Amino acid sequence: MLDTRHVYAAPPNLDLNEWALAGDWTVGMESAVLNAGNGRTVYRFHARDVNLIMSPPADGRSVPFRVQIDGHPPAAAHGSDVDEQGRGTLSEPRMYQLIRQLGPIADHEFEIQFLEPGGAVLDFTFG
């Protein structure tokens, strides 16, 4: 049900192009907003880049986050908005480049974990 708080659990395995939420989220027509810290979004993808359009809380707070690829920090595959350990900060509404892989493209699992509540996830884009 839209615009209702719900605790989600991500399945242990995702099919290609399938995504899931984990944690306490409110899902609306255009975004999913995290209600409590340590919520995650997981996506199984096949692309070089993973970008995510996100927005910070309405009160203007920044939200720290961490990304992983296949259960590990991205290292050299980090995007311009995270470091090699996968750490970043959601500070303004925009598209964030989270993964930028080098070399051949293969199937991977991407995860972003928000360490504090309030962040909104709007849309994934891939390159």
Contact 119, 65 (CB under 8 A): yes
Whether the full predicted model's pTM is greater than 0.75, yes or no, is yes
Which tokens belong to 87? 């750490």
Contact 124, 52 (CB under 8 A): yes
Contact 110, 77 (CB under 8 A): no
**pLDDT of the residue at 48:** 95
Contact 95, 52 (CB under 8 A): yes
Domains along the sequence of the chain with CATH: 5-126 (2.60.120.260)
pLDDT digits (tens, 9 = 90+) for 7-64: 999 999 999 999 999 999 999 999 999 999 899 999 999 999 999 999 999 899 999 9
Contact 74, 46 (CB under 8 A): no
Which tokens belong to 18? 């399938």
Instruction: Single out the residue of 38, 63, 28, 67 nearest to residue 50, CA to CA.
Output: 67
